[in-house]
Amino acid sequence: MSAELAVVTGGAGFIGSHLAQALLAEGRPVRVVDNFSTGRRPNLPSGVELLEGDINDVAEQALRGASVAYHLAALPSVPRSVQQPLESHRATAQGTLALLGAAEKAGLRRVVFASSSAVYGDTPALPHVETMPPKPLSPYAVAKLAGERYAGSWASGGKLETVSLRFFNVYGPRQDPDSAYAALIPIFLRRLREGKRLPVFGDGLQTRDFAFVSDVVRGLLLAGSVAGISGRVYNIAGGRPVSVLETGRALAALLGRAADFEFLPPRPGDIRDSLADVSAARRDLGFSASVPLEEGLRRTLEAAAP
């Protein structure tokens, strides 16, 4: 029997390309869907089938013949969503709705939706548990929460199996440092190599829960295969809080340099502290992060070496 076709939307992006590579390593045929608004062609692993287009426009074509879809396509930026809320909604919430409708029509076994810890907002209680009331602060967070709720409604109606994963701060090779909305670690890495100060929005004592990309990919694969979890939402993270300043110092130390910070005003929509309770994912999926931060930073540095 031939292996089931897996579809990865946003598969030319940072996480999506690592997922596509892992699926290929399992001997699975993989179709990547990407419009390259943020994804990059060099990220695509050899052997994938590429469908170029916006998921809102090509959802039915994208899922033809597939058994499982991993939906990562989005505009992954809080600041950009504040500046362009309609664009963020279309790419993230509306795109998820289009995919779910097409998945039901195509008879897919399951859709795994990539959500975000941003849905928790500035909930003061830590760690964040999936049962907490969401308090999204940005249009991006609202759109991700909408995607979760859409996925849950398909599952509760018996129309399709869905699982949503709330990613926290994912990092690793292929994370784009050139975007105006780039994530913390690739920005710090680029600045350190250029001998520039590290930009910090706020006092730098705000905390993040980092997970190396290979751990996140394992969480995605488990969510696509474990039985009896349809309709559930899980945190996928490292389960350890690290301050922005501590992150900068750790990266600088690996490069044999001192961290010099430039403190800037806080950005609208940014949360103060982030820490995941991953006990539900451990119990139901068998998931736990295995790459410590220093090891993940070292691998990221080696992959980005000039």
Q: Residue 63 falls within a domain, yes or no?
A: yes
The string of pLDDT tens digits covering residues 119-154 is 999 888 999 999 999 999 899 999 999 999 999 999
Q: Residue 192 falls within a domain, yes or no?
A: no
Q: Residue 89 falls within a domain, yes or no?
A: yes
How many angstroms separate the CA atoms of 31 and 48, rounded?
6
Q: Residue 82 falls within a domain, yes or no?
A: yes
Give the angle subtended at the CA of 188 by the CAs of 184 and 189, to the nearest 5°.
Answer: 120
Q: Residue 303 falls within a domain, yes or no?
A: no
Q: Residue 183 falls within a domain, yes or no?
A: no
Looking at residue 94, which CATH number applies to its domain? 3.40.50.720
Active-site amino acid positions: 140
Q: Residue 150 falls within a domain, yes or no?
A: yes
Q: Residue 184 falls within a domain, yes or no?
A: no
Please state whether beta strands 198-201 and 261-264 pair in parallel, antiparallel, or not at all (unpaired): parallel
The string of pLDDT tens digits covering residues 236-270 is 999 999 999 999 999 999 999 999 999 999 988 78
- 51 contacts: CB under 8 Å, gap ≥ 6: 31, 32, 33, 58, 61, 62
Q: Are 306 and 191 in contact (CB under 8 A)?
A: no
Number of domains in the chain: 1
Give the domain range for residue 146: 6-171+210-239+275-289
Residue 219 has φ and ψ, to the nearest 5°, of: -60, -40
pLDDT in tens, the chain (306 residues): 468 999 999 999 999 999 999 999 999 999 999 999 999 999 999 999 999 999 999 999 999 999 999 999 998 888 889 899 999 999 999 999 999 999 999 999 999 999 999 999 988 899 999 999 999 989 999 999 999 999 999 999 999 999 999 999 999 999 987 765 568 999 999 999 999 999 999 999 999 999 999 999 999 999 999 999 999 999 999 999 999 999 999 999 999 999 999 999 998 878 889 999 999 999 999 999 999 999 999 999 998 766
